[in-house]
Amino acid sequence: MLFIHVDECPANWEYVLEGIRKMSHSIDTSGDREDDDIHPPKERRFVVLASTILSSQTKEDITRGATRRLRQNGLLTADALNNADEETIRKLIYPVGFYIRKASNLKKMAHICLTKYGGDIPNTIEELLSLPGVGPKIAHLVMIIGWNNVQGICVDTHVHRICNRLGWVSRSGTTQRTSIPEETRKALQQWLPREEWVAINPLLVGFGRTICTALRPRCGECGVSKFCPSAFKETSSSSYFRSNKS
């Protein structure tokens, strides 16, 4: 049994999480998993991986629509994507951000899944990371959703930004903010109880989209601003991260 050293927990973190939960209770961040009951596990996992590659934390409607169009055209399987014309994939997923690159990555990823994993997806972080277009954020999310296996916290731009604003993470041995999401993930995992590792992502994503936004956060509407060292300190543009780089 591995026990995590938790003597560095930020003050009031439980109140903050509870406060964010209360603010977010009406926000649905469950995403587009409408095929859960339709596909057998292998196919379902592939859909999870493909739709996660397509996804964007800021344009959920657009990425959901793109996933739907792929499905309607029968292109949400490893075999179909592998055989599909890349131009066709582009047209179906447009206007998802980086659609040209994602179309290429989807096709390459499908080929690897087909030839190396029998149409399934890899079941380790390391192997997922070896797929084109799969970085730490997607790998951890796919492990959780696709394999029900929590290897780490899924840290996207919202989790990264909010944890730094709250002072929940810092560079090892310093009080400086973390510079990249991977650094945030490791710092957060140092103290956040494991039972919160899955819930923290959708919770902070919803909070980050609506209240603790990247640009001009709505601190006046935030129920936990009294616990936030960054509250009301970001008045213009997104100079926060740049001005804190020193």
Report, as residue numbers or ranges, the catalytic residues.
137
Q: What angle do CA 44, 47, 53 make, to 5 degrees?
A: 145
- Residue 237 interacts with DNA (CB under 7 A)? yes
- Tell me how far, at minimum, the Cβ of 184 lies from DNA, in Å: 11
Distance from chain centroid for Cα 178: 17
Distances (CA, A) of 234 to 23, 45, 52, 58, 216: 20, 40, 31, 20, 7
Residues within window 212-231 making contact with DNA, judged by CB under 7 A: 214-216
Minimum separation from the CB atom of position 238 to DNA (A):
3
Q: If binding is defined by CB under 7 A, does position 133 make contact with DNA?
A: yes
DSSP 8-state code for residue 228: -
Is residue 235 at the binding interface for DNA, with CB under 7 A as the rule?
A: no
Interface residues for DNA in 179-198 (CB under 7 A)?
179, 181
112 binds DNA, rule: CB under 7 A: no
Cβ-based neighbour number of residue 201 at 10 Å: 22
Amino acid at 14: E
Binding status of residue 56 toward DNA by CB under 7 A: yes
Q: Give the separation between CA 232 and CA 218, rounded to whole angstroms.
A: 8
CB closer to DNA, 134 vs 169: 134
Question: Residue 93 has which token pair?
Answer: 């997923």
**Quick check: 193 and 6 in contact, CB under 8 A?**
yes
- Which of 33, 101, 226, 233: binder of DNA (CB under 7 A)? 101
CB 35 within 8 A of CB 44: yes
Cβ distance to DNA smaller for residue 5 or 245: 245
Query: Does the protein bind DNA through residue 135 (CB under 7 A)?
Result: yes
Nearest approach, Cβ of 143 to DNA (angstroms)? 12
Interface with DNA by CB under 7 A: which residues?
A: 56-59, 62, 94-95, 97-101, 105, 129, 131-139, 156-158, 161, 179, 181, 208, 214-216, 237-239, 241
